[in-house]
């Protein structure tokens, strides 16, 4: 039995800069495992530890995602092995294309009955890859997953929805997108990091994978920041705290905030 963790090697948002037009500049950011993916690693490891399954990490992207550091970063988070598709033809690929390649890799790995992923990537933040992957595989897809554990013949899953928490049991293969606060991922220690270099890595060529050709081309025409809103620019003299507090409350009431 195999559990796949689909993750992204993405720019670190701590290194990002905000341009004057409000857009985010990631060009100088170092890459790291996308911020929302460690949750998926942790859930996968916990399920695998209880079932004896193998955890395989899968990532696809341009050539820059395959570095020694990137491999060890992933393998130090509880993976048993790693599969990478690194090809510059995937640079800037849309979520459907990414999902198509991931689906092909999942089929290539074989004997996979669970795929876990983060809720979205930290840089693109579309939140579509996991569910598109489920569709590509013809599997059940669930997002907002807060808990998953092995159950008789399948998995027990909890999802946080606006009305509360839904508990369900799933039989058959599924793709689950974990919510960002589903679980607190463990921090890789020295032993995990040193052991990472010894774990197997397979790099697959995009040309050898039978990925269906893209049916649609996607071109981003423009981006714009949200409307700035109507700033009142009220400055209150704070030298008299009591009077300042009263004035602040009055201003907030006038703005219908309170």
Residues making contact with other proteins (CB under 8 A): 32, 68-69, 72-73, 76, 184, 186-194, 196
| CB 68 to other proteins: min, Å | 5
CB of 105 to other proteins, least distance (A): 24
Q: Which helix (H) or strand (E) holds 57?
A: strand 54-61
- Write down the least CB distance from residue 238 to other proteins, Å: 15
Neighbours of 58 (CB within 10 A): 26
**Which residues of 71-217 form beta strands (DSSP E)?**
81-86, 112-118, 140-151, 154-161, 164-171, 174-178, 201-203
Q: Least distance to other proteins from the beta carbon of 83, Å?
A: 19
For 68, the 3-state DSSP assignment is: helix
Residue 9 vs 155, nearer CB to other proteins: 9
Q: Decide whether 190 or 257 has the Cβ nearer to other proteins.
A: 190
Query: Is 33 or 105 the residue whose CB approaches other proteins more closely?
Result: 33
Token couple for 251: 């201003």
Structure tokens at 85: 């598709």
Nearer to other proteins, 74 or 150 (CB): 74
- State how far the Cα of 212 lies from the Cα of 233, in Å rounded to an integer: 55
């Amino acid at each position: 039995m195999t559990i796949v963790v689909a993750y992204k090697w993405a720019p670190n948002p701590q290194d990002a800069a905000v341009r004057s037009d409000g857009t985010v500049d990631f060009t100088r950011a170092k890459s790291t495992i996308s911020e929302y993916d460690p949750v998926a690693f942790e859930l996968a490891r916990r399920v695998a530890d209880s079932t004896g399954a193998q955890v395989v990490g899968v990532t696809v992207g341009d050539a820059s995602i395959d570095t020694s550091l990137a491999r060890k970063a992933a393998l130090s988070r509880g993976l048993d092995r790693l599969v990478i598709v690194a090809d510059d033809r995937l640079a800037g690929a849309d979520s459907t294309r990414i999902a198509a390649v991931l689906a092909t890799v999942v089929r290539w790995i074989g004997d996979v009955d669970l795929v876990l992923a983060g809720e979205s990537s930290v840089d693109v933040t579309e939140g579509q890859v996991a569910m598109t992957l489920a569709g590509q595989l013809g599997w059940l897809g669930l997002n907002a997953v807060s808990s998953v554990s092995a159950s008789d013949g399948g998995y027990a899953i909890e999802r946080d929805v606006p009305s509360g928490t839904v508990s369900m049991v799933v039989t058959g293969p599924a793709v689950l997108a974990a919510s960002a606060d589903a679980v607190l991922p463990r921090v890789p220690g020295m032993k995990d990091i040193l052991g990472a270099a010894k774990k197997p890595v397979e790099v697959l060529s995009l040309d050898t994978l039978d990925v269906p050709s893209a049916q649609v081309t996607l071109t981003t025409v423009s981006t714009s920041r949200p409307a700035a809103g109507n700033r009142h620019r009220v400055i209150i003299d704070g030298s008299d705290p009591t009077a300042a507090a009263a004035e602040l409350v009055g201003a907030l009431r006038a703005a219908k905030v309170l």
